[in-house]
Structure 1
Amino acid sequence: MQHRSPPESRGSILAATNFLVFSGVLVFSILFYVLRFPTFPGSFEAIDANLRDPPTERSRIAVADAERAFHEAWNEPGDAPRVETFLARVPAEARTSALVHLLWVEIAERGRRRDASIELEYHERFPDDRDAIRAVFGQAGKRPLLSARGVFLLAGLGTWPVLVYVLWLLPQASVRFIVWFATHTLYRIRLHGAEHLPRQGGCLLAANHVSWADGILLLVTSSRPIRFIVYAGNFDNRFLLWLGKLADAILISSKPKAIASAIRQAREALRQGEIVCIFPEGGITRTGQVQGFKPGVMKILEGARVPVVPVYLDGLWGSIFSFERGRFFWKWPRKMPYPVAIHFGPPIHDPKDVFEIRQAVQALGAQAVQSRSNPPLAPPRNMIRRCKKYRFRGKVADSTGAELTGGALLMRSLIFRRLLRRGVLRNDETHVGLLLPPACASVVANAALALDRRVACNLNYTVTSDVINACIRQANIRHVLTSRKFMEKFDFQLDAELVFLEDFKDRVSLADKLIGGLHAFATPAPVLEKLLGLSSIKADDVLTVIFTSGSTGMPKGVMLTHANVATNTDAVDQVVRLRDNDVVIGILPFFHSFGYTISMWTVLNTDVRGAYHFSPLDAKQIGKLCRTQRGTILLSTPTFLRSFLRRIDKEDFASLDVVVAGAEKLPQDLSDAFEQRFGVRPVEGYGTTELSPLVSVNVPPSRSADNFQETLREGSVGRPVPDVSAKIVHPETGDPLGVNQDGMLLIKGPNVMKGYLGQDEATRKVIQDGWYVTGDIAHVDEDGFIHITGRESRFSKIGGEMVPHIQVEEELNRLLGADDEGGLRAVVTSVSDERKGERLIVLHLPISRSPEDLRKGLTDRGLPNIFIPANDSFFQVDELPILGSGKLDLKRIKALAEQYWEARGQG
């Protein structure tokens, strides 16, 4: 009570509390003594007749003789007589009656001699006659007004009038106590940063809104009363309205006058030194993401001169009061009590705009993940549970006709794990290479390595042997798992031993099959995890090493942990609202982070199924796979989507419900054409290998819960997924930038990689104070949507001004139109220039328009002169370099540009 009170009144409260407590103890002690004081004499006749009266005349005479003799014995000199001696003189049938009579005499005689009779002593002497002993002692002495039980019952009943009076006198405090008790019963609440709440004076709490219980949780965790700004429509009956008034809530509705009135009330409360709380999103999130903040926050602060304390409620997504699983309330809680953490950030004095407040709340979300007591379930453990859940239902399939149920997938993975341990991999061999396309076999191979707690390194088969060998050396890979049929297409000379999957077919013994089947179909998941040693996996243990695309240099090994991948798959499930009838069409290779995390582990760690094809360029087979497997989710790049427009029949994609494009900017004309042909509009997401990979995504219209919140904004890459924070800083100074200001994009959250394999210095350059420097130039709008402007490496500094390659490239391709395959006709890069620092270079496919014509078209589209390449900076090429992931090979493009420019200079 003291720490919840003003400092100047704590002494008075302590004195009053002590007085009330000790006075209450004194009053109750006196009352107990009075009510228990012996008042009414007992009576022998009041003893139960069944115990008192002998059953027969003969036994009655015997009892009377024994009682008389026992009474006379007490008057004789010497030791006091023993009840047992005289009890032996009566027949067995009269033993109980005789004991009652003899005890009554002995207690009376002892009383005259001031010798106390102790009931417990007689219970020990006559253990078979406890009822008779209790009856005698109950009447032997004077009886009090009430029994001890009666006294306590009376005292308890006496508290009811006091309770009613207190409820009437202090209704707010009483209701708060009831709510506090209920809340702490249902939730296990941990507070972080509570010292940021001012002990006195006004402040405005700005919190994210995850569930219906948010306000109650904040109310019971604060030492000071909080006035909440709440929607009046939620108080539509008398009882709720009474509760709202009791809590002194500030009701607000959509009417202009009601909004103005609520703002005035909140501002006045702040001026009076009260704490006011607002949920600036204006509603409960339907995806777990932090939504845009309403500008009314700044109106409340006008003239109030109080700080804003950002608040992040962590862990409430998934509770019965959140919108998880697409509904409020009607779901079972996952845990009881439910763990929740509330994070208070440092006060913000005089915020410039609501964007600054939102950024602070979102940053708390990324920070909250680090302090969670329960790490996410490791992907291989989650896979075991999902496969057992769907042991008899299809889990993965591919275009070769292979199809595995959850049980079959787990059994094959366990068997393959046994075979690798028995004849291929040594105990100290942590990193294992894989050269396999997306298919059931490669899913089994990756899963087997994860179940064996080894690090899977999926190698890029679209690059040269030298690049692959550089990756092999980085990860110290000794064995590479591959397929003879697959390797026939390549001429690799690798510095590691190749292990062909086909060779294992004859090595599987009956024991392997029996043990694998027993573990997959009969062994409980927790037991199997213990047997495999998976229970000891730590959150920061490395699950995989994925090598960067090398689009701007030599590939680096990105170490992704179990927590990285687990939180990313959870985010996909949460934001896209995956359904158990969803089928992911996996065409991105597993050496691509989107392919590995989203196409494979999301399938293995959620209720969806996966269907794979080995090449994203084989549009006809992809269409057929989607049609036969009833695919609903497609992950691709804009380059591949363009080829699908021309090569895939409309009916093949009839079942598609979600199409997400990444790796490069998604043009609006491509979205329009795709939607017109297939009836589903692609949305854009963003991520990098170093971020596991997902950072943000627009929620597809079909998966948006309702029209209450905006979850998609075309031209953006969406909002950050839950627990991930984004901020924009100046590329040179590192100073934070405001809303809609272009700068360097930094990301913080559980998706940030552990680091580059064996390259600590490179890791330190890109991870600064927990923030990953993406190298992408972007801005964040007022509602939190991220807009990618370009890569830092795709800017040229010409005459002191930054010129974005992507903007020039997009305008050129609009002028030229797509090629026959639906791809780009021109790309923009740069070479050094002695006079202006850099020069824009355009590499293009054979085109009919001249450079002069294109330059005029760029001018007509409003581009500044400095953005327009010179006439002599256009070069024709046979093809534009593309990586296996579908992204432009920027390294080769720049090399070609330098080669052509140097040749022109020499010519």
Structure 2
Amino acid sequence: MNGWLIALAVSAAVFFALVALAIISPRRFVRLPFNILLSLLYRKRIFGLENLPTDGGCLVISNHVSWIDGILILWMLPRNVRFIVDGANFSSSIGTYLGNAFDTIFMMSQIKSIGRAIKAGREAIVDGDVVGVFPEGTISRTGQLQAFKPGITKIIKGTDAPVVPMWMDGMWGSIFSFSGGKFFYKWPKQFRRTLTLYIDKPVPADTPLEILRTRVQALGARATIDHRSQLPILAKGMIRVCRRRGGQMQAADSMGTEVSGREMLIRILALRRTLRREVFSDDEKYVGVLLPPSVGGVIVNIALAMDQRISANLNYTVSSDVMNHCIAEVGIKHVLTSERFLSKLDVKIDAEVILLDTLKDKVTKLDKAIAFIQATVVPASLLDRILGLSNVDGDDILTIIFTSGSTGMPKGVLLSNANISHNVDAIERAVKLDMNDTVLGVLPFFHSFGYSVTLWGAMSLGPRGIYHFNPLDSKQIGKLAEKYGVTVLLATPTFLRGYLRRVTPEQFSKLDVVVVGAEKMPAELFESFEKKFGVRPVEGYGATELSPLVSVNIPPSRSSAAHQADRVEGSVGRPLPGVSARVVSPDSGDELRAGEDGMLMVTGPNVMRGYANQEEMTGKAIQDGWYVTGDIANVDDQGFIHITGRLSRFSKIGGEMVPHVRIEEELSRLFCEGDDDETLRICVTAVPDAKKGERLIVLHVPTTKEIDDIRKGLSEAGLPNLFIPGRDGFIEVEAIPMLGTGKLDLKAAKDVAASLATSAGASDGDD
């Protein structure tokens, strides 16, 4: 009996002690159970804790992807953070108690309340407290960093306290994030997540808002780079997609080939076995692929990935000399192609050509039987180990993509599993591709966008892939889109012009997403395409060296934005999750303010591993982890990137930088005014000039327009006299030089201009 009394007395004492602690020191009372619970649910790591001031006031700013980000930061930091939060989320008695325990500053939606919260935050900083803000003002729906609200500059205004940028990594995918298109109501993807808090060096209170945003974004890129090993191995994902698809069609092409998910996986595995036995030596790394976008092209590329070979999709629109330069660059021994396709090309290949038509006869019954068992019976995780996919590292090279050669001889860009996997993950977040989508693959696989998205994006995320070898064949593309119910189209503005003329609205009736890149989208093309097909295209941006995606505007039908825009027409979108972009002065290297044009730099897990056998060139292209794009751009105050030109597409005339793209925009409007012809008609380039350094040249297709009227139109559009080409600078050509990827062939255009232009003639701007 005495034991029970003692136990009861101890329990009562503990109870009253906890009640007293809850009243006297709510923070300690709350921290104890929180520390225990959060330690059970999460592992924590902190980088840069020494950057957080140990005393004195400061403002900490962080990204915001989950409902409990504030709680997690309080758990991870040694100093209390007085977060400024939306008071509506803490309206209950428990919420108010918890908020008050940490001296939280509540803010309601009324203007007066917001002003009081800002004032309270400033006073807290002056008093030596750490004040915390999520400057996006809302939880990100994609993991992308959104625009920063200007309130944070008001909080710190008039103080000399520093701002400390932070990034919380690891919460995307949790039930508290918007992954999967909803909060809370989903199964957790993993137990005991590892959360990493990155803390950057403090910056002065007067640091511009857009620079603060870049600092936070750069931490996010660093976090994703550090954790790139966690990105999925795409070949594993493809196995699981094929298993889920089963007997339903997974891919088809314009040559009449249709395969189910099960059949595709069987063919891939059988081809892998046959190539290992009949063609490759054990130490053979690089394998050339000379195939158009097709079911066969998909199967070959995935079979190589499953065998840990590095595919090199060769550009079949270039000369033999250029193709053989690429082959020699990495020592390709074998090129896989088909007799039917090779017969259409006028090329001589300096490597052993393996015709898949002939190789098909060497696939044995045993190959087919083993492939069938592996594809249908063997558990996916066991199949991963059998194929060696469990040993694949994210940094292992998956493919080599040769640059377009628009400005010179192609360079071999080494892209890893993590490079491409990040792009696939990013496009899934932005465009939300799933099993219900059908992607039209018209971009060649030697184009990084075609390889990353229409090949791996479709095959590892679940959509059906429909392929055609000629992106300019509008009639056939229209038929395929109608037959298979295409929902997603990835193209260039040049391709869209053809579809406008030859594809009917009925053929694109299921189209839901159109993403364009490679060249600037003319404003009138947005309107024309939407008017005819009911879908407004969005622009994205990338480069081969960036796997290729950097940014994209979110398609209207896939948007889940709340309180912030995720699409700005005329821009190429915000950087994708895990990617950071900044604009610097080409002269000083200093980061520029919002709206100021400069050199665009990009960092993230999408940055290539380097150029093949070109260490010096790699060092010039990648500086301290940032890829120098060569593009002139600005980032607006909402974080959207605006490409204004390419450094190589500027002319220095009389000491002034003259942008070719700006002139092309006006010329396109003037040349196309009054008719429906959407083909590319003009290209601006330059030739040397003894007086002013360079002279503008306009290559244009035959036109009935008067050149004097065109020049007058440029002047009326407000272009400076220096931007207006002289009359003899307009040169008629049969067609504008284009690459097979749909981009302008800048080198060819410059060569044509040099050969046709005379050294005499009026200077720029002369009548």
- Structure 1-normalised TM-score? 0.82
Report if the CA contact (8 A) 2:229-2:394 is conserved: no
Return the alpha-carbon distance in structure 2 between the equivalents of residues 863 and 253 of structure 1. 48
Return the alpha-carbon distance in structure 2 between the equivalents of residues 352 and 852 of structure 1. 49
Q: How does 1:580-591 map to 2 (within 5 A)?
A: 580-591=435-446
Deviation, structure 1 residue 404: 1.9
Residues 225-234 or 693-702, more deviating: 225-234
Return the alpha-carbon distance in structure 2 between the equivalents of residues 846 and 373 of structure 1. 51
Q: What are the Cα deviations for residues 855-883 of structure 1, in whole angstroms up to 9, with x where unaligned?
A: 11100000000100011111100111111
Return the alpha-carbon distance in structure 2 between the equivalents of residues 813 and 644 of structure 1. 18
What amino acid sits opposite 1:643 in the alignment? G
Whose relative contact order is higher, 1 or 2, with alpha carbons under 8 Å and at least 6 apart? 2
What amino acid sits opposite 1:250 in the alignment? I
For structure 2, list consecutive stretches of 5 or more residues without a partner in the other structure.
Answer: 762-767
Deviation, structure 1 residue 401: 2.8
2:108 alignment partner in structure 1: 253
1:828 alignment partner in structure 2: 684
For structure 1, list consecutive stretches of 5 or more residues without a partner in the other structure.
Answer: 1-144
1:631 alignment partner in structure 2: 486
1:69 alignment partner in structure 2: none
2:139 is aligned, of 263, 284, 296, to 284
Return the alpha-carbon distance in structure 2 between the equivalents of residues 821 and 470 of structure 1. 37
Return the alpha-carbon distance in structure 2 between the equivalents of residues 298 and 342 of structure 1. 23
| SS in structure 1 at match of 2:28 | helix
Return the alpha-carbon distance in structure 2 between the equivalents of residues 833 and 373 of structure 1. 49
Q: What are the Cα deviations for residues 684-743 of structure 1, in whole angstroms up to 9, with x where unaligned?
A: 000000000000000011111145220000110000000100011111222211111100
| SS in structure 1 at match of 2:440 | strand
1:174 alignment partner in structure 2: 29
1:219 alignment partner in structure 2: 74
Deviation, structure 1 residue 763: 0.6
Q: How does 1:618-697 map to 2 (within 5 A)?
A: 618-697=473-552
What amino acid sits opposite 1:876 in the alignment? E
2:646 equivalent to 1:800: no
2:148 equivalent to 1:293: yes
Deviation, structure 1 residue 256: 1.4
2:14 is aligned, of 159, 169, 177, to 159
2:699 equivalent to 1:816: no
2:245 equivalent to 1:390: yes
Q: What are the Cα deviations for residues 613-644 of structure 1, in whole angstroms up to 9, with x where unaligned?
A: 11101111111111111111100000000000
| SS in structure 2 at match of 1:229 | strand
Q: How does 1:256-275 map to 2 (within 5 A)?
A: 256-275=111-130
Deviation, structure 1 residue 270: 0.5
Deviation, structure 1 residue 260: 0.8
Q: What are the Cα deviations for residues 432-471 of structure 1, in whole angstroms up to 9, with x where unaligned?
A: 0011011111100000100000000000011111111111
Q: What are the Cα deviations for residues 462-518 of structure 1, in whole angstroms up to 9, with x where unaligned?
A: 111111111110121111111111112112111011111111332222211110011
2:612 equivalent to 1:753: no
Report if the CA contact (8 A) 1:643-1:821 is conserved: no
1:521 alignment partner in structure 2: 376
What amino acid sits opposite 1:896 in the alignment? V
2:718 is aligned, of 828, 845, 862, to 862
Q: How does 1:244-393 map to 2 (within 5 A)?
A: 244-372=99-227, 374-393=229-248
Go from structure 1 to structure 2 and tell me whether the alpha carbon gap of 1:820 and 1:476 turns closer, same or farther (over 3 Å shift). farther
Q: What are the Cα deviations for residues 12-34 of structure 1, in whole angstroms up to 9, with x where unaligned?
A: xxxxxxxxxxxxxxxxxxxxxxx
Identity %: 51
2:634 alignment partner in structure 1: 779
Q: What are the Cα deviations for residues 366-416 of structure 1, in whole angstroms up to 9, with x where unaligned?
A: 111233284312222222222223333322221223222222211111100
Report if the CA contact (8 A) 2:242-2:262 is conserved: yes
| SS in structure 1 at match of 2:383 | helix
Return the alpha-carbon distance in structure 2 between the equivalents of residues 821 and 627 of structure 1. 24
Deviation, structure 1 residue 153: 7.5
Return the alpha-carbon distance in structure 1 between the equivalents of residues 605 and 625 of structure 2. 10
Return the alpha-carbon distance in structure 1 between the equivalents of residues 707 and 381 of structure 2. 67
2:556 alignment partner in structure 1: 701
| SS in structure 2 at match of 1:360 | helix
Return the alpha-carbon distance in structure 1 between the equivalents of residues 393 and 5 of structure 2. 58
Report if the CA contact (8 A) 2:59-2:162 is conserved: yes
| SS in structure 2 at match of 1:735 | coil
Deviation, structure 1 residue 315: 1.7
| SS in structure 1 at match of 2:506 | helix
1:122 alignment partner in structure 2: none
2:420 is aligned, of 565, 568, 579, to 565
Deviation, structure 1 residue 160: 2.7
Return the alpha-carbon distance in structure 1 between the equivalents of residues 304 and 417 of structure 2. 13
Return the alpha-carbon distance in structure 2 between the equivalents of residues 878 and 271 of structure 1. 70
Go from structure 1 to structure 2 and tell me whether the alpha carbon gap of 1:757 and 1:150 turns closer, same or farther (over 3 Å shift). farther
Return the alpha-carbon distance in structure 2 between the equivalents of residues 493 and 552 of structure 1. 24
1:237 alignment partner in structure 2: 92
| SS in structure 2 at match of 1:417 | helix
2:764 alignment partner in structure 1: none
Report if the CA contact (8 A) 2:18-2:29 is conserved: no
Return the alpha-carbon distance in structure 2 between the equivalents of residues 435 and 610 of structure 1. 19
2:341 equivalent to 1:486: yes
2:450 alignment partner in structure 1: 595
What amino acid sits opposite 1:207 in the alignment? S
Q: What are the Cα deviations for residues 750-771 of structure 1, in whole angstroms up to 9, with x where unaligned?
A: 0000001111111111100000
Return the alpha-carbon distance in structure 2 between the equivalents of residues 186 and 743 of structure 1. 45
What amino acid sits opposite 2:726 in the alignment? A
2:730 alignment partner in structure 1: 874
Q: What are the Cα deviations for residues 119-151 of structure 1, in whole angstroms up to 9, with x where unaligned?
A: xxxxxxxxxxxxxxxxxxxxxxxxxx867x997
Go from structure 1 to structure 2 and tell me whether the alpha carbon gap of 1:157 and 1:385 turns closer, same or farther (over 3 Å shift). farther
What amino acid sits opposite 1:895 in the alignment? D
What amino acid sits opposite 2:119 in the alignment? R
Q: What are the Cα deviations for residues 829-852 of structure 1, in whole angstroms up to 9, with x where unaligned?
A: 001111111110011111122322
Return the alpha-carbon distance in structure 1 between the equivalents of residues 598 and 652 of structure 2. 15
Return the alpha-carbon distance in structure 1 between the equivalents of residues 388 and 274 of structure 2. 17
Return the alpha-carbon distance in structure 2 between the equivalents of residues 259 and 639 of structure 1. 49
| SS in structure 2 at match of 1:166 | helix
Report if the CA contact (8 A) 2:159-2:205 is conserved: no
2:750 alignment partner in structure 1: 894
| SS in structure 2 at match of 1:651 | coil
Report if the CA contact (8 A) 1:627-1:654 is conserved: yes
Deviation, structure 1 residue 243: 2.6
Report if the CA contact (8 A) 1:587-1:595 is conserved: yes
1:88 alignment partner in structure 2: none
1:123 alignment partner in structure 2: none
2:359 is aligned, of 487, 504, 512, to 504
| SS in structure 1 at match of 2:507 | helix
2:406 alignment partner in structure 1: 551
| SS in structure 2 at match of 1:359 | helix
Return the alpha-carbon distance in structure 1 between the equivalents of residues 145 and 268 of structure 2. 39
2:466 alignment partner in structure 1: 611
Q: Which stretches of structure 1, 4 residues or longer, exceed 6 Å deviation after superposition? A: 149-154
Return the alpha-carbon distance in structure 1 between the equivalents of residues 145 and 378 of structure 2. 41
Report if the CA contact (8 A) 1:288-1:575 is conserved: no
Report if the CA contact (8 A) 2:229-2:418 is conserved: no
Return the alpha-carbon distance in structure 1 between the equivalents of residues 333 and 677 of structure 2. 40
2:587 alignment partner in structure 1: 732
2:627 equivalent to 1:769: no
Return the alpha-carbon distance in structure 1 between the equivalents of residues 343 and 327 of structure 2. 20
Higher helix share: 1
Deviation, structure 1 residue 161: 2.9
What amino acid sits opposite 2:157 in the alignment? E
Residues 268-277 or 238-247, more deviating: 238-247
Return the alpha-carbon distance in structure 1 between the equivalents of residues 261 and 78 of structure 2. 51
Return the alpha-carbon distance in structure 2 between the equivalents of residues 837 and 396 of structure 1. 53
Return the alpha-carbon distance in structure 1 between the equivalents of residues 8 and 285 of structure 2. 70
What amino acid sits opposite 1:516 in the alignment? A
1:126 alignment partner in structure 2: none
